[in-house]
Structure 1
Amino acid sequence: MIPVQRAFLSRAIAARLFPSRTSLRFNSSILSLVEPPNYSSDDVDRDATDKLPDAKFRSCCPGVPRAGLFLLVSVVQRTLDWTTVREIRFAEAAGAYGFPHAVEAFSMLMGVFSSAGMQREIRLLLAGVLSFVRNVDCDLLVVLSAVVLHAGGSLSSLNVYGTAILLLAEDSMIEHALEVYFEAKRMGLPIGAPLSNLLLKVLVRSNNSEMAKDLFNHMKICGPKPNVYSYTIIMYMYTTQDILDINEASKILDEMEMEGVKPNVVTYDTYIRGLCRAGDVKSAKEFLQDLQSRDLPCNTNCYNALILGFCREGELEKALSVVQEMKERGPKPDVHSYSILIDGFCKSGDVAKGSNLLEEMLSNEITPTMVSFSSLLHGLCLKGEMGCALSLFNQLSGQGYAHDLISYGILIDGYCQLGDLDGASRLWQQMIQSNFVPDAHSYTSIIFAHCRNGCLKEALEQFEFMLYSGVMPSVVTCTLIVDLFCKQHRMLDAFAFLDKMNEWGIVPNIFMFSVILNGLFKEGKSVYTWGVLGSMIKKGIVCDVVIYSILIDGLIKSSKLEEALKLFAGMSKVGLVPNIFVYTIIINGLCKIGRLPEALGLFEEMIIKGFIPDRIVYTCLIDGYCSRKDMKKASELFDKMVHSGLVPDAHAYTCLIDGYSKIFMMETAIALLDDMLKMNLCPTVVTYSVIINGYRKLGDWDKAYEIYKIMLNQGISPDSVMNLSEISSFST
C-alpha cells in the first residue's frame, strides 16, 4: 500500500475546495463521502445561524452546494491535520460558500481541534473569523453564539468568549473586546481575573485611562475581585508621564492594604519610579528604606529606579551613594545600575568618572553592554573629543562588540555638532558598508550640520535624498529646514515647505510654529503672525510661555508696546505664569521709551513672585536710567546687582560710562573704564566712543585723542559708531 503524503493531501483538498469560479462543481461521489455531524449546544440560541448575514458572499458563487466545506471538516476529523486547514483563509471560504456556511464549518473545525486539546489551532481559526468580522457589517455577539452552537458541545461558551476577548485585546480592538467581555459577564460566564487584567493592561497601554478606571471599578463591584496584578496595572497608569498622579498611586497602596492584597516587588518598583518621575526622589528613597526596614520585597530594579531618579535630578553623588549601599547591603548592583550611573556622569561632562565606573564594572565581573559604552561615546562627543570617541569606537569593534545605529548615530551627530562634515561623511559611509540603513536621526544630524553652516542648498539635497531613501523625516528635521528658510529671509519658501509637510502627513508642533512666528516678526511682517497663531490653535496646540515671549518681543520691536502689554496681562487669564524672559522683554521695552516707573514696578513684581533677577534685566534698567541721565538710580541698581552676586559685564559698564559721559562726569567714567580693565573685561568700540565723545563735547581734545590712541593700541578700530569728524580731527 502506497502511503499518502499529508502535504499532497492538503494541496489536493485546497484545490478541490477552491477551484476557479467557472468550475466550482462537486460530483455526487465526493458529496456522498460527506456526512456533517449533527452538533448541538445548550449554551446559545438555536437561531444564531439564521441571524448571520449572507450578504454578497454567497451571491458571488451561485449554485455552490452548502456541503462544500464539510469535506474539509470530515478529513480533519479523521486526521487532525492542521496543514490541511491553514491553507484556507476564512475570507476565502466566506467569499466562496457564503458567510453563514463558513462560520458553521470553521466552528466545526474548532470543535474537532478542541476535542484533541489543540488550543493553538482554535485560537488561529477564531482569529481568522474575528479578523473578517471587523471588516464587515456584522453583529460580533451573534457570530460568537453561532461558533458555540456549531462547535457541537466541544467548545464551551466560556472558551469561545474568553478566547475572543483575548484575541481582540491583543489586536487592540478594545471596544469589541469590552463588548464581548460585558456580554460574557451578562451571560453569567465566570470570567476570571487574568482575562480582566489583560483588558486593563491593554486599556492602560493605549492611554484609555477613563475606561481602565471604569473596568477596575466594575471588577471591584461585580467581580472578579482585583488581585495584586490588577492593582499594579492601575498603579502603573497613575505613575506614567501621561497621567502621573502620585496621590492616586498612594491611594492604591492604601486600598491594597485595606483589601488584604499584598503588593509584590513590581508594585513597589512601579511606585518608586512614579515618585522619581514626579521629582520627589527624596520620598522615593525614604519609601525604599521603609521597605527594607519592614523586610518587604524589593530588588535591584527598585534601587535602579532610585539611581535613575537621582541622575535625572543631577544629584549624581546621591546616585553613587545608592550603588555603594547596594554593594554593602545588597542586592548587588547589576549592569543596569552601572549603566545608569555612567550615563548620568557622562551627560554631566564628567567622562573620567564614567570611565572609572566602567572599569569598576569589569573588576566586579559585570560585562558592560553597548548601552554602557554608548554613554561614554556620547559623553566624549559632548566634550568635542572626537578623536577619543573614534578611538573607543574602533577599539570596541576590535573587542567583538557589534555597533548599531545608535552608536554610529552618536559619532555622526558629534561630528555634525562641531561642523565637521568630512568626519561625519566618513562614519556615514562606514555605516552604509556595515549594512545599516540610516534612520531619521542620522539624516537629521547631517541636515543640522548643513543648517548650522548656513548651507541651505546642501541641507535640502540631503533632505531630498532622505525622502528618496524612504525615510520619513521627523518634525524636528523639518523644523531645521524651516528655521534656515526664515534666517535667510525666505518666508515664502518656508510656507511652501509647510504645505509639503502637510502632504507628507507631518504635523507641525509648537517649536515649528515658534520658528515661523519669530521669522515673521524679524521680517517685519507681524500682520501675518495672527493667522499663523490661529492655525496653530486650530491644530489643538496650546500657546505656551515661549510663544507668548516671541509675540510680546515681536510686538515691542514692531513699536506696538500697548498690544504687547495687553498680551502680557492676558497670560494669567489662560493660566500661564510669565517667566523671567517675558518680564525682561517687557521691562526692556518700557525702558527703551522712558517708562521707567512702570519698568521698575514690574521688576519689583518679578522679585515678589520669586524670580531672581539676572544680569540682563539689571542691565536693561541701568541702561534705561542712564539714557534719562538719572545716574543716581542707575548706580543704585548697579551696586544692587553686584551685591546680589552678579558680575557686571562689558555692556553693563558701558551703559554706566555712557551715562556719566553724557553729564560730563568724565573722572567717574574713566574710573569705571579702569575697573573694567582690572576685571579683565574688554571695552568695546562703543565704550571708547562714548568717552571720546564726552571729552570732545567738553572741548578737551587732548584727552579725547589720548583715549583714541589707547583704543587703537588695544587693537580696536573705529567703526560707524564713531563720528567721522572725530576720526579726521585725530588724524590731522
Structure 2
Amino acid sequence: MSRRELGLLFRVRLGKVRFFSPSSTASLAPMLDEHTYDSNLTAETKILDKRSAETEHSYIERNCALFPLVVRVIRSLNWKAVEKNSFSKAVEKHGLSHSMDAFAIIIHIFSSAGLRREALNLLQDIVCYHKNAIGDAFGIFDTLVSWSLSLKSSSLVSQLLIKAFAGSLMLENAVDSFLLAKKIGLEPSVSSCNFLLKCLIERNKVEFVRSLFEEMKTSGPTPNVYTYTIVMKFYFKYGISQAEELLVEMERNAMSPTVVTYGTFINGLCKAGDAELALIYLRELRNRELPFNNYCYNAIIHGFCCKEKLYEAMMIFEEMKSCGLSPDVHSYSILIDAFCKKANVQKGLSLFYEMVTIGIKPTLVSHSSLLDGLCKTGQMESALDWFSKLEALGFKHDHTSYNIIIDGCCKHGDLDGACKYVNEMIGNNLVPDVFVFTSLICGFCKSGCLETAMKLFKHMLDKGILPNIVTCTVIVDGYCKEGLVLEAFELMDEMLRQGVIANLFMYNVIIDGLCKERKSEKAWEIFGPMVKRGLVPDVVIYSTLIDGFVKESKLQEAFKLYARMSKDGITPNTITYTSLINGLCKNCKMREALNLFEEMNKEGVRRDKISYTSIIAGFCRSGDMKKAWTLYSEMIQEGFSPDIVTYTCLVEGYCKLDMMDNAIMLVSAMLKDGITPSTIMCSNLVSRLCYNIRHGALNLFEELIRKG
C-alpha cells in the first residue's frame, strides 16, 4: 500500500472523501479488510506506486508492515492493538520515517475521535524515543502537521505535543512547539499552556515562564484564573510585590480569583515570612465576603508555628472554628508537630485526643510528630509503646517513623534496640537510608565504639548510599574526640572527592579537636584554606580558635583574631569575651579584663554566670576581694545564682587573706542553697579553721561532716 493510498483511506475514515462509483469502492475493499492484506507488496502495487511517486511526489516504504496496524486503528479505534507496538520497536523494524508517518496518522485518528489520552500516550512514546535515542526532537511537529486534515485536528495534536514535551521535561521543545503552532495560525489551548507553565516553574526556568506568560497575555490564548494562580505561586519566589500586582491585574481584567487563588496568595505570604500580613488579608476576605477555606487558615497557622508563635497559632485555630470552618486533620497535625518540636508533648497529646474525639482520623504524620516529641523529651518507653501500637491501628510504618524511633534509641544509648528496628525495617522491605545510618554511626561514636561506627560507614558506602554532611561531621567528630585528627583530615579529603563539601560546622569540629590537643597553631593553618573554599568563618569558629590560643597562653594571637573578627563585621559573643577575660585574668591583667567585661555591656552582649565567675575568680586570685565581692553582688542582682565554682573562688580568696568570717558566711550560704562544697574547699577551710577557731566555726565544721 502506498502513502497515497493510505492517505486516501485515512481521509475516508475521517469522512473527508465520499466514493460514488462502485469501482472506487471496490478498489478500496481489500484495504479495509486487514485479513486479506499482504505486507509483501505485489508487483502490481509496486508499479502503481512507482508511477504515483513520479507524478505526486509520494514514496513507497521498503517495509510496510505498520500499515495493517494503521488500517486496523482506522476501522476499529483499537487501542490494545497499538499498545502492543511501541514506537522504539517500530523504528527498529521499519525505520524512523515510516514509523513517524504511521504513528502520526494513528495520533490524529485517536485525537479526532476524542481519545486524547491514547493520543498523548503515543506522543509521549515518540518524544521519549527521540530524547533517549536521538537526543533531539527535530521534525516531530512538522511530521504531525503534515498528516493533519483540518485546523482543528492540527490544533488538538499540537496541544498534546506540548504536554508530551513538557511532561518529558523537554521544555525547550515544548516552548518551540507552542511558538511553531502560533506561527502557522494554530491556537494552543490555555490548559496546555498552563501545564507547560507548571513544568517550567518546577524546573525554575525563569525567563521561559515570564516570556510564555507575556506571550499569552499579548497574543493568546488568554490567561484564565488558573494561569494567574500558577504564575502567582512562582512570583512569590521573587518577592511579595509581583504577586500582589497579579491580583490587581486580575481585578482590572474583571477576573474573579477563586478560593485556590486566595489560598495561594495567603500561603505565599506565609512562606515569605509574613504570616501577620496573611492574617490581615484573610480577615479582609471575610469582611468582603470573598471565598476562603481551611487551606487559608492552615497556611497561616503553619506560618505562625514556623515563627514559634504557638500562642498566636492557637488563637487563629480558635478563630477558624468561630467563623464556621471545622479544622481538618492538617490543622491538627500542624499544631501537634509544632508543640512537639517545642518539647510540649502534653499539649500535642491533648490536641491529638481532641481530634480523635470529634471523629477526625489521625494520619501517620500526626503519629510521627508525637513519636518524635516523645523521643526528643526522653520518654522512650512511651515512644516505643506508641510505635508498637501503630501497626495494631492499621498503620504501616514508613521511613519517617522508623528513622524517628531508631534515632531516639541511638540518642538514648539503646543501640541494641536501634539495631533491632533496623532489622525489622529491612524485613518490611524498607531500605535503610542515609538518615538511619547517620543515627547509628552517631550512636556508636558517642558510645566510644568508633571502630563499629567506621564499619557501618564502610557498609553504607558499599551499599551505594552516599553520606551527607551530617554523617561526615559525626565521623570527623568521633575521630577528633579520640585524638585522631590526622584521620579526620583524611576523611574530609576523601569526602571532598565524593562530592561532599565540608561546611563551617565540620571545620569547627576539626578546629575544636586541634585546640583541645593544644595545637591551636595547626588549627589556625586550616583557617586560610577554609576561607579560600568560599566559607566565611562565623563567631563560633572565631571563638573556638580564640579559646584555643588563650588556653595555650598565646594571648597576643588571641587578640589578633579578636581584632580580625571585629574588622570582618562579626560581633563577638559571650563565649568570645569570656575566653579573653579568662586569659587576661590568668595573666594578672585585671584592669584590661575589667575593661573587656564592661565592654560587653556597652556592646549589648549579655553577661552570664560564667563570664561573671571568670572575672570574680580573677580578682580573687589577685587578692582584690572588695572588687570580687562587688561583682558577686552585681551578679546576684542580675538574677544569676552562684554555683560551686563561684563559691569556691570567693571562699579560697577570703581564706588566703585570713578573712575567715567572710569565708564561713559564704559556706553557710552555699549549704543553704543546697550546694555541697568540694573536697578541696573543705580541706582548705578545715586547715584554716584549725589555726584560727572562730565563733561558729565548730558548728560549721560539724555541718560539713554531716554533708559528707
TM-score (norm 1): 0.77
The answer to whether structure 1 residue 145 and structure 2 residue 136 are counterparts is no
1:531 and 1:31 map into 2 onto residues whose CA distance is 85
Q: 1:67 to 1:470 in 2, by over 3 A?
A: same
Q: Which letter maps to 1:167?
A: A
Q: Percent identity?
A: 42
Q: 1:194 to 1:575 in 2, by over 3 A?
A: farther
Deviations 1:132-168 (CA, angstroms, capped at 9, x unpaired): 3335777645442233224455875544443333223
CA contact (8 A) 2:337 2:369 kept: yes
Q: Which letter maps to 1:391?
A: D
1:348 and 1:171 map into 2 onto residues whose CA distance is 43
Partner of residue 397, structure 2 = 403
Report the count of equivalent residues.
Answer: 669
Q: 1:573 to 1:169 in 2, by over 3 A?
A: farther
Q: 1:438 to 1:154 in 2, by over 3 A?
A: same
Higher deviation after alignment, 79-88 or 123-132: 79-88
2:566 and 2:251 map into 1 onto residues whose CA distance is 42
Tell me by how many angstroms 1:331 deviates: 0.2
Tell me by how many angstroms 1:488 deviates: 0.7
Q: Which letter maps to 2:198?
A: K
The answer to whether structure 1 residue 120 and structure 2 residue 99 are counterparts is no
2:161 and 2:460 map into 1 onto residues whose CA distance is 42
Tell me by how many angstroms 1:419 deviates: 0.6
Tell me by how many angstroms 1:449 deviates: 1.9
Tell me by how many angstroms 1:336 deviates: 1.9
Please, which of 159, 172, 175 is the counterpart of residue 169 of structure 2?
172
CA contact (8 A) 1:409 1:441 kept: yes
Partner of residue 133, structure 1 = 130
Within a 5 Å distance, the mapping from 1:526-537 to structure 2 comes to: 526=520, 529=523, 532-533=526-527, 536=530
Tell me by how many angstroms 1:332 deviates: 0.9
Partner of residue 163, structure 1 = 160
The answer to whether structure 1 residue 486 and structure 2 residue 483 are counterparts is no
The answer to whether structure 1 residue 449 and structure 2 residue 443 are counterparts is yes
Q: Which letter maps to 1:476?
A: V
The answer to whether structure 1 residue 495 and structure 2 residue 492 are counterparts is no
Deviations 1:365-416 (CA, angstroms, capped at 9, x unpaired): 2222232233333333233233333333334433434333433333333222
Q: Which letter maps to 1:307?
A: I
CA contact (8 A) 2:107 2:157 kept: no
Partner of residue 662, structure 2 = 668
CA contact (8 A) 1:580 1:611 kept: yes
1:146 and 1:505 map into 2 onto residues whose CA distance is 44
Tell me by how many angstroms 1:490 deviates: 1.6
The answer to whether structure 1 residue 201 and structure 2 residue 177 are counterparts is no
CA contact (8 A) 1:692 1:708 kept: no
Give the unaligned 5+ runs of structure 1: 1-8, 18-25, 40-45, 51-62, 717-732
Q: Determine helix, strand or coil for the equivalent of 2:62.
A: coil
1:544 and 1:178 map into 2 onto residues whose CA distance is 45
The answer to whether structure 1 residue 383 and structure 2 residue 377 are counterparts is yes
Q: 1:499 to 1:711 in 2, by over 3 A?
A: farther
Deviations 1:659-679 (CA, angstroms, capped at 9, x unpaired): 444555443343333322222
1:226 and 1:679 map into 2 onto residues whose CA distance is 73
1:535 and 1:259 map into 2 onto residues whose CA distance is 57
CA contact (8 A) 1:244 1:274 kept: no
CA contact (8 A) 1:108 1:150 kept: yes
Partner of residue 236, structure 1 = 233
Please, which of 450, 453, 458 is the counterpart of residue 459 of structure 1?
453
Q: 1:134 to 1:403 in 2, by over 3 A?
A: closer
2:48 and 2:379 map into 1 onto residues whose CA distance is 78
The answer to whether structure 1 residue 679 and structure 2 residue 676 are counterparts is no
1:642 and 1:30 map into 2 onto residues whose CA distance is 113
2:684 and 2:209 map into 1 onto residues whose CA distance is 70
Deviations 1:72-91 (CA, angstroms, capped at 9, x unpaired): 54554445444444444444
2:47 and 2:466 map into 1 onto residues whose CA distance is 57
Q: 1:389 to 1:65 in 2, by over 3 A?
A: same
Within a 5 Å distance, the mapping from 1:296-445 to structure 2 comes to: 296-445=290-439
Q: 1:509 to 1:254 in 2, by over 3 A?
A: farther
CA contact (8 A) 1:115 1:154 kept: no
Tell me by how many angstroms 1:572 deviates: 6.2
Deviations 1:68-124 (CA, angstroms, capped at 9, x unpaired): 655654554445444444444444544555544443443333334334333223323
1:578 and 1:277 map into 2 onto residues whose CA distance is 31
Higher deviation after alignment, 220-229 or 159-168: 220-229
CA contact (8 A) 2:128 2:168 kept: no
Higher relative contact order (CA 8 A, sep 6+): 1
Q: Determine helix, strand or coil for the equivalent of 2:633.
A: helix
2:165 and 2:343 map into 1 onto residues whose CA distance is 48
1:250 and 1:539 map into 2 onto residues whose CA distance is 39
CA contact (8 A) 1:622 1:637 kept: yes
Q: 1:103 to 1:383 in 2, by over 3 A?
A: same
CA contact (8 A) 1:654 1:686 kept: no
The answer to whether structure 1 residue 475 and structure 2 residue 469 are counterparts is yes
Tell me by how many angstroms 1:468 deviates: 4.9
Deviations 1:169-206 (CA, angstroms, capped at 9, x unpaired): 22333344344444545555434543443333333333
Deviations 1:558-579 (CA, angstroms, capped at 9, x unpaired): 5555555454444466665444
Q: 1:112 to 1:293 in 2, by over 3 A?
A: closer
Q: Which letter maps to 1:204?
A: I
Q: Which letter maps to 2:320?
A: M
The answer to whether structure 1 residue 646 and structure 2 residue 637 are counterparts is no
Deviations 1:420-464 (CA, angstroms, capped at 9, x unpaired): 223334444444444444333333333222122111122223334
Tell me by how many angstroms 1:506 deviates: 4.1
TM-score (norm 2): 0.80
Within a 5 Å distance, the mapping from 1:546-565 to structure 2 comes to: 546-557=540-551, 561-565=555-559
Tell me by how many angstroms 1:330 deviates: 1.6
CA contact (8 A) 1:110 1:155 kept: no
Partner of residue 106, structure 2 = 109
Tell me by how many angstroms 1:484 deviates: 0.7
The answer to whether structure 1 residue 518 and structure 2 residue 512 are counterparts is yes
Q: Determine helix, strand or coil for the equivalent of 1:134.
A: helix
1:251 and 1:583 map into 2 onto residues whose CA distance is 49
Within a 5 Å distance, the mapping from 1:41-80 to structure 2 comes to: 65=62, 69-70=66-67, 72-80=69-77
Deviations 1:710-732 (CA, angstroms, capped at 9, x unpaired): 7984777xxxxxxxxxxxxxxxx
Q: Determine helix, strand or coil for the equivalent of 2:289.
A: coil
Tell me by how many angstroms 1:487 deviates: 0.9
Aligned CA-pair RMSD? 4.3
2:500 and 2:46 map into 1 onto residues whose CA distance is 61
CA contact (8 A) 1:235 1:271 kept: yes
2:100 and 2:533 map into 1 onto residues whose CA distance is 45
Q: 1:658 to 1:318 in 2, by over 3 A?
A: same
Q: 1:360 to 1:112 in 2, by over 3 A?
A: closer
Give the unaligned 5+ runs of structure 2: 1-33
Q: Which letter maps to 1:450?
A: F
Deviations 1:503-553 (CA, angstroms, capped at 9, x unpaired): 655444443333233323334445555675566556655544434443444
